[in-house]
């Protein structure tokens, strides 16, 4: 199924259906190129058809009865087995991390982290076995009732290109622990190394429990979402596509979890600690993966008394960063993943500049020719832009951050909530009571205190958003229950208990 990875020769990945690695129907593939060097071919992935989707769903459907009858303890043991394998350090981790860097663009440190540290998501989910096993009991009169849950059936899991394995870790172990079988569709823009890693996991389960199909979402996406044998859809991606997924699923009355975009605000209070560590945390919260993270810091509101201090401190950190090929150890920021996303970000920056807002592009570029030819954008800070500009009102999903002053905390809360998004937020203050008071007023599914983004997140907590950021939750105990439906069983008093 796979060509050799690690020597930078093109690789080829296929589908994985019913326990067998196989090409797409007719041997169709498509090509992926390095976003740092757009003329460099990285590999080919299976370009699946309706027939491939049908085969994957039917395999998952056939495997469902046996898998759903396993106990929580048995499922937990299997998830822990996966965790043991992932945490042991597989021989080809370095090769897959390098391949991932070349197909995605993010720096090698991040790709290695994603490829090698998925095991904790499986182990954390396995730890819920005892809690999931317990039913709720209601004693009569009028009836004695057991309130339990049961898996839904075949689940379609659709993951985006920015952190495909990490995001899969918020869906896959949860779906399996709940007793479902799955069909996974990785993004066509970041598929080679993720598919290789996922197949290694799938091989540890009975045939049909985990199936993988790759290809063009515009061609097979509706089939995956609207298939009559699919009983649940868990999608992470854009608001536009999420709304379409919801419409397609509605035709089959298929329930969905949608984790969509974010435009995360951060509020820096007058008493915030602003030292080098704080500015580095702000940088990481904003610019990790070139800003291509749904829970990245995307709007920074700063008390006017600390505004200049934040601008100077964050500019200093950004200016130390090296922008270039993610394979190079000195690189801190790689390219944006694709030309379309780069244009989205640069258009927002240009609009802000044209409106009169000051734009400061930071960072060091050791290879100007590479920078010009690849999908690069240096970290850009935009000072006090109008709230109506796209750089503030929309999700940039790239290395650009608007910074705005405020005079009162009530104003800051109003500005933070003045968005159609509601995924994450953060509050920066030395006062615990102030932090909690502000956090409880923010319209967001997750609020970080004195940090932001993946480096500040407790992955045991449920994750998801409000408003256009979607509904339903991934991660945590709640993330498992999303993949189940409640089932009540009752009798006359005294007969069940």
Catalytic residue set: 259, 294
The CA distance from 34 to 375, in Å, is: 9
Q: Is 387 helix (H, G, I), strand (E, B) or coil?
A: coil
Is the distance from CB of 443 to CB of 262 less than 8 angstroms?
no
**Using an 8 Å Cβ cutoff, are 21 and 13 in contact?**
no
CA angle 20/41/395 to nearest 5° reads 90
3-state secondary structure of 469: coil
Q: Which two tokens stand for residue 380?
A: 């850009």
Residue with the two structure tokens 């937020």: 425
Residues 6+ apart with CB under 8 A from 31: 41, 43, 44
168, 116 in Cβ contact below 8 A?
Answer: no
The sign of the dihedral angle between the CA atoms of 274, 460, 435, 305 is positive
d(CA 215, CA 29): 8
Q: Which residues of 235-268 are buried (b: 16+ CB within 10 A; e: fewer)?
A: bbbebebbebbbebbeeeebbbbbbbbbbbbbbb
Instruction: Count Cβ atoms within 10 A of the Cβ of residue 142 and give its class: 0-12 exposed, 13-18 middle, 19 or more buried.
Output: exposed
User: Ramachandran region of residue 143, left (φ > 0), alpha (ψ -120 to 50) or beta?
Assistant: beta
408: phi then psi, degrees, rounded to nearest 5: -140, 155
CA distance 415 to 421: 12
Among 279, 268, 280, CA closest to 305: 268
Q: Where are the alpha helices (DSSP H) in 302-388?
A: 307-319, 339-354, 368-373
Residues with Cβ within 8 Å of 326's Cβ and at least 6 positions away in sequence, in order, are: 36, 101, 105, 106, 107, 108, 110, 111, 334, 335
Task: Provide the token pair at 33.
Answer: 């190129």
DSSP 26: G
How far apart, in Å, are the Cα atoms of 387 and each of 299, 356, 397?
A: 10, 13, 17
**Using the 8-state DSSP alphabet, how is residue 288 labeled?**
G
Q: Supply angle C-alpha 291, 472, 208, rounded to 5.
A: 90
Task: Give the whole-angstrom CA distance, residue 181 versus residue 365.
Answer: 47
């Amino acid at each position: 199924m796979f060509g050799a990875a690690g020597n930078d020769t093109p690789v080829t990945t296929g589908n994985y259906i019913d326990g067998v690695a196989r090409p797409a129907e007719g041997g169709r593939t498509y090509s992926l190129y390095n976003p740092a060097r757009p003329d460099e071919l990285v590999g080919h992935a299976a370009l699946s058809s309706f027939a491939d989707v049908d085969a994957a769903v039917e395999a998952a459907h056939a495997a469902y009865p046996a898998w759903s009858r396993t106990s929580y303890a048995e499922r937990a043991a299997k998830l822990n087995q996966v965790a043991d394998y992932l945490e042991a350090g597989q021989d080809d981790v370095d090769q897959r991390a390098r391949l991932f860097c070349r197909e995605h663009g993010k720096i090698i440190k991040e790709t290695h982290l994603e490829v090698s540290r998925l095991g904790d998501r499986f182990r954390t989910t396995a730890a819920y076995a005892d809690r999931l096993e317990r039913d709720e009991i209601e004693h009569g009169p009028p009836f004695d009732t057991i309130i339990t849950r049961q898996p839904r059936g075949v689940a379609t899991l659709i993951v985006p290109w920015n952190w495909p394995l990490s995001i899969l870790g918020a869906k896959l172990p949860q779906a399996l622990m709940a007793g479902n079988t799955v069909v996974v569709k990785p993004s066509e823009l970041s598929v080679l190394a993720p598919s290789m890693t996922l197949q290694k996991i799938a091989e540890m389960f009975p045939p049909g429990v985990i199936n993988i199909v790759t290809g063009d979402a515009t061609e097979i996406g509706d089939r995956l979402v609207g298939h009559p044998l699919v009983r649940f859809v868990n999608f992470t991606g854009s608001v536009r596509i999420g709304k379409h997924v919801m419409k397609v699923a509605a035709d089959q009355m298929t329930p969905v979890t949608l984790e969509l975009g974010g435009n995360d605000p951060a509020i820096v209070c007058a008493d915030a600690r602003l030292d080098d560590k704080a500015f580095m945390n702000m940088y990481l919260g904003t610019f990790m993966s070139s800003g291509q993270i749904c829970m990245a810091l995307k709007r920074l509101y700063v008390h006017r008394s600390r505004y200049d201090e934040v601008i100077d401190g964050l500019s200093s950190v950004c200016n130390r960063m090296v922008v270039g090929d993610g394979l190079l150890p000195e690189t801190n920021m790689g390219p944006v993943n694709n030309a379309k996303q780069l244009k989205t970000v640069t258009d927002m920056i240009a609009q802000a500049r044209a409106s009169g807002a000051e734009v400061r592009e930071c960072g060091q570029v050791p290879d100007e020719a590479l920078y010009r030819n690849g999908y690069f954008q240096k970290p850009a800070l935009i000072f006090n832009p109008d709230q109506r500009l796209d750089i503030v009102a929309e999700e940039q999903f790239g290395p650009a951050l608007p910074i705005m002053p405020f005079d009162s905390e009530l104003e800051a809360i109003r500005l933070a909530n003045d968005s159609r998004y509601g995924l994450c937020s953060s509050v920066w203050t030395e006062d615990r009571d102030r932090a909690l008071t502000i956090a409880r007023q923010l319209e967001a599914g997750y609020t970080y205190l004195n940090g932001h983004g993946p480096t500040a997140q407790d992955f045991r907590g449920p994750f998801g958003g409000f408003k256009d950021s979607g509904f339903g939750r991934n991660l945590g105990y709640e993330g498992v229950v999303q993949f189940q439906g409640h089932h009540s069983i009752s009798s006359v008093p005294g007969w069940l208990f």
